[in-house]
Structure formats: C-alpha cells, structure tokens
Amino acid sequence: MTTYIAYIDDSGDEKYAVYTALLIPIEKWTSTLHEWLKFRRNVFETFTVPADGEIHATELLSGKGNPAPTLSYGINRDMGKRKKLLNLAVAAVGSLEHVRVLSRVVPNGKPDDCYRSLLKDMESRLTAEDSWAILVVDGNGTDGSHKKAHRALKIANRRIVEDPWHQDSKLSQLVQMADIVSFTIFQAHKLNQTRRFMWGWMPDFIHRREWPGACNCPPGAQQRP
C-alpha cells in the first residue's frame, strides 16, 4: 500500500493527444527532489541555466527565450547545447529510481478524452495494489475539464484523492519533469523528422521508469532495461 503524489503534464498536436504522470511515493518525495536538484546544479555549472529557471521542452527546442539570462551567447543561441540539455534532462528523469511513469497516447484524440483515459488507467492500477494518489497538474486551474474528470470518478471506490491541484510548470521542478517526459513520449510516437534525434529517448531512458505492465513505447521500439 502506497500513497503517491503524481505530477502531470500534456503534450501532442492535432494528430496525437498525450498525457503523462510521474508518480512518486510520498515517503520518497524528498529524496527524489534532492536528486533532481543535484542535476539542476550540474546544469548551472555546465550551461549557466539557473536552478530556478524553467526547463520547458517545446520552448527549448524552438529556440525561444534565454535559458541562461546572464549570457548573450552559449545555450541562448546554440541549438546543439539546447538539445544536449534536454537529452541530459530526460536521462536524469530516467535515473530516478522511485519515479513511476504512466502515460496515455491517443491518436487523433482530444486532450480531455486523453486525460480521462489516464485517470481510468491510474485508478485501475492503484486499486490493484491498494494504493492512493494525489494529482498535481500543470496549469492555473482555469481549465475546468480536469476537475470535471475527477468528479466523474465514483467516489465510493476511487483511489485518486480530491480534485487536481494545479501548479504552473514555471514554479514546479517536478511538473517540469512531467513536461519533459510527456514531450519525449510524444516525439517517440510522432516521429517528426526534425526531432529524429529524440526518437530513441523513450526506450533508452523512460521505459525503465514506466509502471510495470504499462509500457507505452511505440510498436517496434527497442526497449532497454
């Protein structure tokens, strides 16, 4: 029996809806955050990206913004360094032994339907191991679809506790982790040629953290232990 805190973010486009949850046992939350902050300190030493700055996958690869605000060059202008940072971040999440990844990928689906599907799958798995979860979802809470999906769960036997807690990814290291993983899973399924360098990141780094029996690697992907 475990109580998890789950950090959730979405990704996708008109062809794919993706929602991803990173579930961490409450008693392992502190050690997991500590390990991630060690990674962020290394990022600052290598790229001058501050630990309290947001790592947002889409913005990083689109060349937007200045991840290192004290520089006028480096990662702010070098796409190779941006790709390297994202690669290191995905690998860092994959190294966090207490994180469980649960995701849903719905081709030609709507984000709301994808989120409800993720909740249904999570409920089933939590019930099977007699566990519970509290969900922290990216956003400011103005999207009422998340709360509506939670309140549609049958209260008599639900394992997802309460309405979702919304937290802007800019303010949460762990929501940023969910963003990074969700974007990685999206790219593994989308197979966009401009993101070809990411195609193997899901089987290489994320698969090992997927909830047992819940592999969401695309067909034909080589899954590495």
CATH number for the domain that contains residue 145: 3.30.420.10
Q: Is residue 185 part of a domain?
A: yes
Tens-place pLDDT, residues 162-203: 999 999 999 999 999 999 999 999 999 999 999 999 999 999
Burial class of residue 107 in the structure, from the number of CB atoms within 10 Å of its CB (0-12 exposed, 13-18 middle, 19+ buried): exposed
Please tell me the distance from the alpha carbon of residue 218 to that of residue 124, in angstroms, as a whole number. Answer: 22
pTM of the model: 0.95
Question: What is the number of domains present in the chain?
Answer: 1
SS3 (DSSP) at 23: strand
Please tell me the distance from the alpha carbon of residue 56 to that of residue 43, in angstroms, as a whole number. Answer: 14
Q: Is residue 18 part of a domain?
A: yes
**Domain extent at residue 80:** 3-209
CA separation (Å) from 182 to 11, 16, 64, 188, 208? 6, 12, 19, 10, 15
> Buried (b) or exposed (e) across 167-192, using 16+ Cβ within 10 A?
bebeebbbbbbbbbbbbbbbbbbbee
Tens-place pLDDT, residues 107-131: 999 999 999 999 999 999 999 999 9
What is the predicted pLDDT for the residue at 222? 52
The upper half-sphere exposure of residue 70, i.e. CA atoms within 13 Å in the direction of its Cβ, equals: 6
Task: Label residue 221 by pLDDT band (50, 70, 90).
Answer: low
Q: Is residue 223 part of a domain?
A: no
Tens-place pLDDT, residues 45-85: 999 999 999 999 999 999 988 999 998 899 999 999 999 99
Q: Is residue 43 part of a domain?
A: yes
CA-wise closest residue to 146 among 112, 169, 176, 179: 112
The region, left, alpha or beta by phi > 0 then psi within -120 to 50, assigned to residue 203 is alpha
Q: Is residue 133 part of a domain?
A: yes
